[in-house]
Structures are given as structure tokens and as C-alpha cells.
Amino acid sequence: MKLVSVELSEPLPALPPCTKGVQWVLVKLHGTPLGFVRTPDAGCGPEGLRALALEELTWQIARRYARPEPVRRPHPAVSMTVAVCTRNGARRLPACLDALDALEYPRELLDVVVVDNAPVDETTRRAVEGHSRIRYIREPRPGLDWARNRAVLDSRAEIIAYTDDDVSVDPGWARAVAEAFAEEPHAMCVTGLVVPDEIDTPAQLLFERYGGFGRGFDRQVFRVAPGESAMRRFGGTGRFGTGANMAFRREFFAQGGLFDPALDVGTPTNGGGDLEMFFRVLKNGHALVYEPAAIVRHRHRRSYEDLRTQITNNGIGFFAYLVRAARIYPEDRLAVARLGLWWMWWWHARRLLRSLVRPSAFPIELILAEIKGSCVGLKRYAPSRRCAAGVVQQFGDAAPERTA
């Protein structure tokens, strides 16, 4: 069942009966996402859907109408590179590329690239060839953060936005990102709302129960106050979003450096590259904006086995990021240790105890998988740095020339 998105200020559709999975409906008002409603299995007509939205999202609608009527602003005159980093993901790309083609953003300001990371064949290149306005870049160095860095080095745009090959961006996504930067001149990073593309399988529903990728429907601006510890206040950077929906001012990479190639998918750490960069933005004194109007739809893992692997890797990546932070910022080591211990209690032990009392809350096996991953993550950053050094030795680390 694909996620349905509706606009309350426009005529609503009739939804057919739900015979498989759960029918989720994302409700917007004047383009601003308010929340989800779930329709009855028997489906519902336009009036029934409107009544359901008004009943379940009363407070959100009231808050929206309490604000001044939105003024439709022109597109910010800012250039943007949108980078899709993929590795042997040609089968996942068609929906992603079709959505990028439909972006409502001035074409003269938009540069969309697919960074093919250490490909084993030409299938990704051929998938991109069918989209004349999307460029293909090959990055031979294996690792997601190498691909992300390649997009930075290749770009001349003011904003570099990242998404994944297993998502579909909303038509207004790029515009919402640009407007968030325009409204917050001190922001160096913008993240956005990630919603499920479908809830067809028990594993997909479990991932949403686990927390999913969504970080709420309220716009937030984060910044470290003078004299405040960035690690103590914002070390748990998963609250800001995910690498499937993030954007940076290009100037930040010149000031704060590129992504750490010893982190994330394709390395022994399996993750953490986005988390570390979010922290780096705040550590360097800049603002980070969470903008829920910048929406992408993520295709969650469909099988239980894939979900278990993903959750294990979440633990590995988060604690590898903490090890990296302790190594790079000696003044934060005590705060890193406190965060790690607190996380083991608040996120892991608490959920484990709750599941022992109420076994239906969340499978104990998945909680134990993430705990195991967290312990493994403490030992993964050092070997991952050695792997990154080996990649440099094999391929070099010189900045590649910009592609045509």
C-alpha cells in the first residue's frame, strides 16, 4: 500500500479498501505536512477522509490556522546540486530518478547527479542515460562517504543536497530546502521529513514502530549556545534526520572539511557518516535546520532479515561515530563517554525491559541485535581508518576533475 499524500485545501480522493498492509495518509495544509492518519480497512470516501483528518489532527490544523496565511514566495535564486549516491543500485533507481525529474525548481539552478560508487557493471550508467537532465559520475573508491565527497568536489552549486537511491523526493523538496537556507542565514545544514513509501510487510511496520526516519512535523532550528557543550547537548545527532534527506552549504565543506571516508556504508563501520557531519556543523558553531516541508518517501526494508541487519548496523554506525568524535575532539571525551553510557540505558536497556514486560511492544531479538551492534561499533572505527588509508593508497585522494 503506497503512502497517499493529500492536501486539505483541495478536493480529497476516495481511498479503496485496504486488503494488504496498512494504508497511511500524509495530510498537508497549504503544503505544510501535519501528520498521518490511517484509513479503515474498508476504505473511505472524500468526506470520510476529511472527517478523519479533522478528528485526528485537530490541534495541528488549529495551530496552522493560528499562523498568518502563507505568502507564496518566489524560488530562492540559489544554485543546487542534488546527489544520489548509489552502489549497484540500478534496480532501485527508476522511481528515484523519475521523482527527481519532477522537482519543481528552476532548471537553470538545478544540477542532479548520480554518483556510482565502485560499480561492478554498467547497469547504473544505463539507468541514468534515460534521463537527459541527470548526470552520471563514477567514483571508483568504495564507500558511501567517498561518493558523497565526490559530489562536493564535482559541484559548483551553492547548496549540495543528498538523497538515496531507495527514496522518492516530493516535488517541492528542493524548494523547501532552499527556502530553509534562505530563512536561516546561519544554517549550514538542512534536514527534512522522511516518510514511509509503503507499509506492506510486518518488517516495514516494525521499522516505523522502532522510530523510523521521521523526526516530526515541527520546524526546528538547532544551534549551540555560547559556552555550551555541543556533545552534551546535541551528541545524539540521529534526532536531526538521516543521510537520505540532508543538504549543506558548499562553503561549509571548505571550512569544516569533507565527509570522513572511514564512516558509513561500504566500510567496517556501516554507518555514522551523516551523524558525524551533523555534529560537525553544530560543533563549528553553525545552525542546523530541520524542515518537515522537505519531504522524501523511503522504501523501507521489506524482509525481517534485512531489517535486523539494518538495525544492527545502526548500532555499529552510531558508536563508531562516537569513537571518531572522542578521537578528533579530546575536550569532548568525557561527554562522549557519558552519552554512550546514557544511550545504552535510555535507548537499549529501557526498551529491553519494556519488551520483557510487554513482549508485543518490539521484538527482543531486534533490540539485542542493536545492542550487539553498539558493542561492535566501539571497535570498528580504527580498522575502518586503515581501510580508508588502503583505498587512498590504491586510488589516490586527489580531487577528481569535474565531469561535463
Rounded to 10 deg, the angle between the 58-66 and 46-56 helix axes is 80
pLDDT reported for residue 73:
56
Task: Provide the pLDDT for residue 157.
Answer: 97
Average pLDDT value for residue range 9-13: 93
3-state secondary structure 1-69: CECEEEECCCCCCCECCCCCCCCEEEEEECCEEEEEEECCCCCECHHHHHHHHHHHCHHHHHHHHHCCC
Q: Taking a C-beta distance cutoff of 8 angstroms, is the pair 396, 150 a contact? A: no
| Residue 380 confidence (pLDDT) | 98
402 pLDDT higher than 60: no
Contact 268, 387 (CB under 8 A): yes
Q: Residues near 64 by Cβ (< 8 Å), separated by ≥ 6?
A: 29, 30, 32, 34
Give the separation between CA 269 and CA 182, rounded to whole angstroms.
34
How far, rounded to the nearest angstrom, does the alpha carbon of residue 188 sit from its chain's CA centroid? Answer: 16
The gap from C-alpha 13 to its chain's centroid, in whole angstroms, comes to 29
**pLDDT above 50: residue 197:** yes
pLDDT at 273 over 80: yes
**Which grid cell is 35?**
501528520
Q: 301-324, pLDDT tens digit by residue?
A: 999 999 999 999 999 999 999 999
% of the chain at pLDDT higher than 70: 95
User: pLDDT confidence of 351, banded at 50, 70, 90?
Assistant: confident
Return the pLDDT at 404: 33
In the prediction, which pLDDT does 43 show?
85
Lowest mean pLDDT among 23-27, 82-86, 386-390: 23-27
Lowest mean pLDDT among 55-69, 278-292, 319-333: 55-69
Alpha carbons 220 and 61: distance in angstroms, whole number: 18
- Give the orientation angle of helix 350-357 with respect to helix 364-377, to 10 degrees: 160
pLDDT at 112: 98
Query: Is the pLDDT score of 382 beyond 60?
Result: yes
Q: Name the residue with cell 527556502.
A: 179
pLDDT at residue 400 is higher than 60: no
CATH topology of domain 80-300: Spore Coat Polysaccharide Biosynthesis Protein SpsA; Chain A (3.90.550)
By mean pLDDT, which of 208-222, 328-342, 366-380, 390-404 is the weakest? 390-404
Q: Which of 78-92 are b and which e, b meaning 16 or more Cβ less than 10 Å from the residue's Cβ?
A: bbbbbbbbbbebbeb
Weakest-pLDDT range from 278-282, 324-328, 352-356: 352-356
Is a pLDDT exceeding 90 seen at residue 225? Answer: yes
Grid cell for residue 201: 510487510
- Give the start-to-end residue ranges of the domains of the chain: 4-66, 80-300, 305-392
* Residue 42 confidence class, pLDDT cut points 50, 70, 90: confident
The C-alpha cell that represents 163 in the structure block: 538523497
Say how far apart CA 276 and CA 263 lie, in whole Å.
9
Residue pLDDT, tens place only, 155-181: 999 999 999 999 999 999 999 999 999
b vs e for 210-235, b when ≥16 Cβ sit within 10 Å of the residue's Cβ?
A: bebbbbebebeebbbeeeeebbeebb
- Where does the pLDDT of residue 64 fall: very low under 50, low under 70, confident under 90, or very high at 90 and above? confident
**Of 3-12, 88-97, 390-399, where does mean pLDDT reach its minimum?**
390-399
Q: Is the pLDDT of residue 271 over 50?
A: yes
Mean pLDDT taken over the chain: 92
pLDDT at position 68, please?
59
Per the CB < 8 A criterion, the answer to whether 4 and 25 are in contact is yes
pLDDT of residue 75: 61
Average pLDDT (41-69) is 87
Counting residues of the chain whose pLDDT is more than 90, the rounded percentage is 81
Cell 522537482 identifies what position? Answer: 103
Mean pLDDT score, 363-376: 95
Residue-wise over 311-349: b if at least 16 C-beta within 10 A, else e?
A: bbbbbbbbbbbbbbbbeebeebeebbeebbeebeeebbe
pLDDT at residue 403, as a whole number = 39
Question: How far is residue 118's CA from residue 373's CA, in Å, rounded to a whole number?
Answer: 26
C-alpha span between 191 and 241 (Å, rounded): 6
Give the span between the Cα atoms of 343 and 348, in whole angstroms. Answer: 7
Specify the pLDDT at position 359: 74
Residue 313: CA count within 13 A, CB half-sphere: 17
Helix (H, G, I), strand (E, B) or coil at 177: helix
Residue-wise pLDDT tens digits, 286-304: 999 999 999 999 999 999 9
pLDDT of residue 63: 86
Please determine, for residue 25, whether its predicted confidence score (pLDDT) is greater than 60: yes
What predicted TM-score, i.e. pTM, was given to this entire model? 0.94
